[in-house]
Amino acid sequence: MSTTSVLGGVVRRKEDPALIRGEGLYVDDIKLPGELAAAFVRSPFAHARISSIDVSAAIAMDGVHAVYTADDVRHLGPVLAQVAVGTLRPPLADGAVHHIGEAVAMVVADDRYIAQDAVDAIFVDYDPLPAVVDLKAAAADEIQAHEGVSNVLLAWSGQDWWPGVTDELPDAKPAIEEAKARDDTVTVSLEMVNQRLIPTAIEPRAVLANWHAGYGSFELWSSTQIPHALAGAIAKIFGLPSNKVRVVAPEVGGGFGLKLNIYPDEILCCFASKELGRPVRWTETRREAPASSIQGRGWVGTATIVGTRDGRILGYELDAICDMGAYSQNFTVAIPLLGLFVAPGQYDIPTAYTLTCVVTNTPTTDAYRGAGRPEAAYYLERIIDRYAREIGMDPAEVRKKNFWQPDQFPATTAVGLTMDSGNYAANLDALLEKVDYEGLKARRDAARAEGRLVGIGLSSYVEVCGFGPSALAGLGFSWSEYGQPAAFNGSGVVRVNPDGSCTVIIGTGPSGQGHETTWAQIVSDQLGIELDQIEVLHGDTAESPFGVGTFGSRSLAVDGTATYEASARVKDKAAAIAAHLLEAAPEDIRFADGGAHVAGSPDKTVSWPEIATSAYQPHTLPDGMEGGLESTAVFSPGNATWPFGSHLALVEVDPDTGNVEILEYWAMDDCGNVVNPMIVDGQIHGGIAQGIGQAMFEAAIYDDDGNLLSSSLMDYPIPTAADLPSFRLDRTTTPTDVNPLGVKGIGEAGTIGSAQTIVNAVVDALAPLGVEHVDMPLRPRNVWQAINGARG
């Protein structure tokens, strides 16, 4: 099934044979002799003082080894965050709880059943306090989520929000106000909610910590996207050199950003293991996951466009309040900033923005697939649709009229960042041609004539990912507190072993993205070593080079490039060795068919095992050449990459029930060069499903007291196979020059492009009734309400 080219071709995944046999080892599958299990007492209140905790009954139970409260673990905190703005989380609630489900006490027992029994036997007296949940109320600071502390952390706004990276930007406001005042312009505005979401990786988080007193070291297995950062943090907290902390992220069952945090349970399991001299495990239950892991999104805001009646946008404003939850964790307050980066989307338009970060008595928000960028794309692409409808122009035409043009790249946007490459109109045209846009509109109109509610939704998007330059990481953030450098580097080790097989060790922490396969393709393409002779290792800090981790659609563009460069260096050295063995000039050496030959003399060959063996035998090397055949490369990108695309959906709404059915879904994405199309398509499929999940199904719903009403999968419905159509994908290819592979990122693109595509389609379906907007999720209830409201 593989095609002829390894790079850019489909190859079956190297990861799969173990996983499809049930042999993949996730943290909860790893058993250590003598291990104990932890469980947490969690707050039933969103905001309360803790007046007393009685652990006596629990500690007296058979099989219970320890119960810890804040007094025991205060010295371990607060939990480190890379962007340490706001109140950081204590390891266990200290004097007060600030969100539902906050951990108050930790039990360690013989097994998880007994640990849970002991949790039931712990009595906590709470003195409830008023909770703040609503974002506008939080911004008004009438009730404070933390007593005596303002809820408003900061607002990303203005012209100099990124000192040292961008020049001071011109203030877009005056021009926008002037445009609004003109007689020949139209101003449209919508207040919209981008609701709170629970990321819901199917593997709950799991931790297994083991302190080795004799070695003075920790081994920590964790379902994490950032093994190196976690090792750095644990080392820092326990006063150890980082080489005394080995973090292993084995198979990780989905991440989506929620495993991109240092969590108190990771610290506490280490602590308990050290205290008790036994391995300590904690496996998250689904019911506690909404509080024990981060949540995502949670914006309420207004988008405004002013433009001419013929479709030229003269200004875009975004003013939103963004929910941080009760504590700041790893990137919490930086998530809206990521949205700001892409606020103007694919458009060359003046943009003004204020993103106000507020604290509420809810679990922390942080990166969830897309992280700020889906929110930004949602507000922009919804209001563009609204504007197109207002001026009676086709939404595709309005978009094209305002796109950056291919000859304008690299393009510096209204927020002062420079986009690497783009060909937006061509991408949208390719989509429109693919779907037969005119035919589709005729189909919609014919259905409408029969009284059916059928709609077409379109959205373009631009993403920013694969971050660089590293200077960005160094600005105003507290990475060094974290025990790791402020960097967006990627790393890779390529080692050809004496038998000619190849070991690649990478700094990423994949959770399903297929790095083993993709990286092997990169190396195989360089060296001509067969894929089955290449082993890719990752996720173990004891063996891999320092790596930032897997998030932000960064791995291929940054770490993949490092591996590419390492393999290029190995190739150069191998060429020199082959030249020596073949008595030829290094520049005449060509690699193919599992070895090297001399250009023009295909019979003068030497195999990879021969080259590799020679590399480890100094007497067979050229004079003065160092032995061995490996290289470590670190790649530091000069810019982020900027993938883009356009999505289109056809939907039908049942007027009697508000039920939405997706009839067709197309995506035309552009992530630059593609290493493995099969894997790229898979990423898009999953991304779209999560965007549709937000658009139609999912919502973390809190009551006014901060109780989470959707704490299980019964009430937090993520899409099932029966809810989704097959997706129709295609791509355009606009390479980047930020890295030599010409690759961008694809992990989040599907999510960034999809939610508003669905909402635009549903609003289009309801447009004949006069509906202008429906907030997500488009559950039948909400859609019917809109229909009913419009019908009066």
- Which residues 493-512 are close enough to bind another protein by CB under 8 A? 511-512
Answer for the pair 695, 778: CB distance below 8 angstroms, yes or no: yes
Interface with another protein includes 23 (CB under 8 A)?
A: yes
DSSP letter for each residue of 636-701: --SS-B--EEEEEEEEEE-TTT--EEEEEEEEEEE-BS-S-HHHHHHHHHHHHHHHHIIIII----
Supply the minimum distance, in Å, between the C-beta of residue 24 and another protein: 5
> In this chain, which stretch among 13-21, 127-135, 314-322, 562-570 interacts with another protein, using CB under 8 A?
13-21
Supply the minimum distance, in Å, between the C-beta of residue 122 and another protein: 14
Interface with another protein includes 657 (CB under 8 A)?
A: yes
> Cα(479)–Cα(624) distance, rounded to whole angstroms?
42
> In this chain, which stretch among 123-131, 405-413, 582-590, 711-719 interacts with another protein, using CB under 8 A?
711-719
> In this chain, which stretch among 6-14, 305-313, 354-362, 581-589 interacts with another protein, using CB under 8 A?
6-14
Whole-Å CA distances, 65 to 39, 58, 113, 214: 12, 10, 14, 22
- Exactly one of 254, 468, 547, 672 binds another protein (CB under 8 A); that residue is 254
Interface with another protein includes 689 (CB under 8 A)?
A: yes
Interface with another protein includes 78 (CB under 8 A)?
A: no
Which residue, 87 or 659, is less far from another protein as judged by CB?
659
Q: Count of alpha carbons within 13 Å of 123, Cβ hemisphere only?
A: 3
Interface with another protein includes 564 (CB under 8 A)?
A: no
- DSSP structural state of residue 550: S
Which residue, 105 or 237, is less far from another protein as judged by CB?
105
> Cα(646)–Cα(576) distance, rounded to whole angstroms?
47
Residue type, 328: S
Q: Map 30-87 to HEC letters.
A: CCCCCCEEEEEEECCCCCEEEEEEECHHHHCCCCEEEEECHHHHHHHCCCCCCCCCCC
Query: Hey, which residues between 637 and 656 contact another protein (CB under 8 A)?
Result: 656
Query: Hey, which residues between 29 and 68 contact another protein (CB under 8 A)?
Result: 29, 31
- Exactly one of 7, 57, 85, 112 binds another protein (CB under 8 A); that residue is 112
Which residue, 16 or 147, is less far from another protein as judged by CB?
16
Interface with another protein includes 144 (CB under 8 A)?
A: no
Please give the structure tokens belonging to residue 446. Answer: 């014919």
The 3-state DSSP class for residue 633 equals strand
Burial class (CB in 10 A: 0-12, 13-18, 19+), 133: buried
Answer for the pair 291, 45: CB distance below 8 angstroms, yes or no: no
Supply the minimum distance, in Å, between the C-beta of residue 770 and another protein: 19
Answer for the pair 763, 456: CB distance below 8 angstroms, yes or no: no
Sign of CA dihedral 750, 755, 759, 762: positive
The distance of Cα 5 from the centroid of its chain, to the nearest Å, equals: 30
Which residue, 13 or 573, is less far from another protein as judged by CB?
13
Which residue, 26 or 341, is less far from another protein as judged by CB?
26
Query: Hey, which residues between 159 and 218 contact another protein (CB under 8 A)?
Result: 200-204
Supply the minimum distance, in Å, between the C-beta of residue 752 and another protein: 15
- DSSP structural state of residue 11: -
Taking alpha carbons only, the member of 631, 630, 626, 596 closest to residue 498 is 630
Helix (H) and strand (E) counts for the chain? 20, 28
Interface with another protein includes 681 (CB under 8 A)?
A: yes
> Cα(439)–Cα(432) distance, rounded to whole angstroms?
10
Which residue, 136 or 728, is less far from another protein as judged by CB?
728
Which residue, 63 or 406, is less far from another protein as judged by CB?
63
Which residue, 31 or 619, is less far from another protein as judged by CB?
31
Number of residues that bind another protein (CB under 8 A): 88
Interface with another protein includes 746 (CB under 8 A)?
A: no
Supply the minimum distance, in Å, between the C-beta of residue 682 and another protein: 5
At CA 716, angle to CA 713 and CA 719, rounded to 5? 85
Query: Which residue in this structure is represented by tokens 């429906």?
Result: 774
Interface with another protein includes 682 (CB under 8 A)?
A: yes
- Exactly one of 405, 408, 617, 712 binds another protein (CB under 8 A); that residue is 712
Which residue, 220 or 258, is less far from another protein as judged by CB?
258
Taking alpha carbons only, the member of 519, 510, 506, 504 closest to residue 546 is 506
Query: Hey, which residues between 521 and 540 contact another protein (CB under 8 A)?
Result: none
Residue type, 461: Y
Residue 661 neighbours by CB distance under 10 Å: 12
Supply the minimum distance, in Å, between the C-beta of residue 469 and another protein: 30
Interface with another protein includes 616 (CB under 8 A)?
A: no
Query: Hey, which residues between 256 and 295 contact another protein (CB under 8 A)?
Result: 256, 283, 285-287
- Exactly one of 346, 421, 513, 641 binds another protein (CB under 8 A); that residue is 513
Interface with another protein includes 715 (CB under 8 A)?
A: yes
Query: Hey, which residues between 723 and 742 contact another protein (CB under 8 A)?
Result: 723-724, 726-730
Interface with another protein includes 475 (CB under 8 A)?
A: no
Supply the minimum distance, in Å, between the C-beta of residue 93 and another protein: 21
Supply the minimum distance, in Å, between the C-beta of residue 667 and another protein: 10
Query: Hey, which residues between 381 and 400 contact another protein (CB under 8 A)?
Result: none
3-state helix, strand, coil in the chain (%, to 5): 35, 25, 40
> In this chain, which stretch among 327-335, 454-462, 621-629, 779-787 interacts with another protein, using CB under 8 A?
779-787
